[in-house]
Amino acid sequence: MPRFLFWNLNKKPVPHLVKEIARGNDVDVLVLAECEIPIGVMLTTLNAETPDFQFAPGQCERIQVYTRFHSAFLAPIFESDRYSIRRLRLPLRDEVLIVMAHLPSKMHFTGESQRTECSLLARAVLEQEATVGHSRTIVLGDFNTDPYEHGVVATDGLHAVMSKTVAQRKTRRVSGHDFDLFYNPMWSYFGDVGNRPGGTYYYEKAEHVNYFWHIFDQVLLRPSLLGGFSDDVKILTMAGGTSLLDRDGRPDRENASDHLPIMFNLDF
H or E element in which residue 177 lies: strand 177-180
Q: Give the integer Cα–Cα distance in Å for 87 and 99.
A: 9
Is 124 a residue that touches another protein (CB under 8 A)? yes
Q: How far is the CB of 59 from another protein (least distance, A)?
A: 5
- Stretch of residues binding another protein (CB under 8 A), selected from 71-79, 137-145, 197-205, 226-234: 71-79
* CB-based burial, 199-229: b 16+ in 10 Å, e otherwise: bbbbeeeeeeeeeebbbbbbbbbbbbbeebb
Paired strand residues for 234: 263
Nearer to another protein, 116 or 188 (CB): 116
Residue 150 binds another protein, judged by CB under 8 A: no
Among 120, 126, 162, 226, binds another protein (CB under 8 A): 120
Q: How far is the CB of 122 from another protein (least distance, A)?
A: 12
55 binds another protein (CB under 8 A): no
Binding residue (CB under 8 A) for another protein from 47, 55, 89, 104: 104
Q: Given candidates 20, 52, 95, 156, which one binds another protein under the rule CB under 8 A?
A: 156
By beta-carbon proximity to another protein, the closer residue of 44 and 105 is 105
Nearest distance from C-beta of residue 77 to another protein, angstroms: 6
Q: How far is CA 16 from CA 5, 23, 86, 107, 256, in A?
A: 16, 10, 27, 29, 10
108 binds another protein (CB under 8 A): yes
Name the DSSP letter for residue 191. Answer: S
Sign for the pseudo-dihedral over CA of 148, 152, 155, 156: positive
3-state secondary structure of 23: helix
Distance CA 47, CA 41 (A): 10
Query: Closest approach of Cβ 144 to another protein, in Å?
Result: 12
- Interaction of residue 210 with another protein, rule CB under 8 A: no
**Smallest separation (angstroms) from another protein to the CB of 227:** 28
| Residue range at the interface with another protein (CB under 8 A); choices 118-126, 195-203, 226-234, 258-266 | 118-126
Q: Give me the least distance between CB of 225 and another protein, in Å please.
A: 23
Question: Is 152 in contact with 145 (CB distance < 8 Å)?
Answer: yes
Residue closest to 229 by CA, chosen among 183, 180, 165, 193 = 183
113 binds another protein (CB under 8 A): yes
Distance CA 190, CA 173 (A): 28
Indicate which single residue of 1, 75, 130, 166 sits in contact with another protein (rule: CB under 8 A): 75
Question: Which one of residues 77, 130, 166, 174 is an interface residue with another protein (CB under 8 A)?
Answer: 77
Q: Is 123 in the site for another protein (CB under 8 A)?
A: yes
Residue 221 CA to residue 174 CA, distance in Å, equals 21
Residues that bind another protein (CB under 8 A): 59, 61, 75-81, 104, 108, 113, 120, 123-124, 156
